[in-house]
Homo-oligomer: A and B are copies of this chain.
């Protein structure tokens, strides 16, 4: 293999992503990750040197991919409601793919570095948020949404989309009789959210 081939490196990252954020095994050891990837543990250190660096990279790339996806989703030509509708789709899809990502982020929030990088993101997104709020204001004036603080609308929106998926194992076990019942509820989730957000 003379030519640089990063497929194994990529494969390790994807495996780590799976173990951490799909399966929620936040304390997985380097050995477990290597096993899951079908690769020798030394190779992890060869490519990423430390477990922490690997986790950092995986997290950063995951977040970045999601941000890109979200941005691509919002077509300015669409109606506000249609925008929201598509956002719900993409957002739910993403959390379904990596259900433990948010829980991990929160659990790491006492870490100062994380907070810093988050605040940087906020600044980059603040323009989009303001634009969103303006559109929202128009909808409220048009009587298609109850008048309220835009912030509260945003919180309602994110909450209703994320929570049932992020806390899925908890809700499924503690409030529903069967997994099937929960899956059915999720299937109709989007309409329920839209109905709650719009008059």
Contacts and interface: CB of A to CB of B under 8 A. Distances in A.
A195 interface: yes
Contacts of A24: 106-107, 109-110
A39 interface: no
Interface of A: 23-27, 100, 102-107, 109-110, 114-115, 118-119, 121-122, 125-126, 129, 146, 148-149, 151-152, 154-156, 158-160, 162-164, 166-167, 169-171, 173-177, 181, 185, 188-189, 192-193, 195-197
Number of copies: 2
A118 B196 contact: no
A189 B155 contact: yes
Contacts of A115: 169, 173
Given A115-B169, A118-B170, A163-B158, A149 B188 contact: yes
A174 B118 contact: yes
